[in-house]
Amino acid sequence: SQQGEEDPQALSIQEGENATMNCSYKTSINNLQWYRQNSGRGLVHLILIRSNEREKHSGRLRVTLDTSKKSSSLLITASRAADTASYFCATGRKQGGSEKLVFGKGTKLTVNP
């Protein structure tokens, strides 16, 4: 079963605009990670935010985590055509003594030049 669910499924914006993608999950987590996947490539890690953190920044990326609402958002500021990719959230949690990292289905972002 999917743990993280991204919203929206697809997003199309103009270069220079900000892009916001959301991720919701159902159970308690240890951490939440965001990954980017360019077409035909493997996933690349963007940011990891732990359950006791509320916000993290990395360059033009800003991630927030609200554990009370079981949701996270990824903001890309001043988007570029090169940001066109699919973005996935992944939630790390403990279940039955073992740890898991479960990926959502992704948001496909298109940045138009």
Q: Would you tell me which residues interact with other proteins (CB under 8 A)? A: 2, 30-31, 33, 35, 40-45, 48, 88, 90, 92, 98-106
Closer residue to other proteins (CB): 45 or 54: 45
In which region does residue 82 sit, left (phi positive, over 0), alpha (psi from -120 to 50) or beta (all else)?
A: alpha
Closer residue to other proteins (CB): 10 or 78: 10
DSSP per-residue letters across 78-95: S--GGG-EEEEEEEEEEE
Closer residue to other proteins (CB): 32 or 111: 32
CB of 95 to other proteins, least distance (A): 11
Closer residue to other proteins (CB): 60 or 100: 100
Give yes or no for a contact between 90 and 5, defined as CB atoms under 8 angstroms apart. no
CA neighbor of 37 nearest in space, from 104, 113, 112 = 104
CB of 42 to other proteins, least distance (A): 4
Q: Where does residue 103 rank: exposed (0-12), middle (13-18), buried (19+ CB within 10 A)?
A: middle
CB of 62 to other proteins, least distance (A): 17
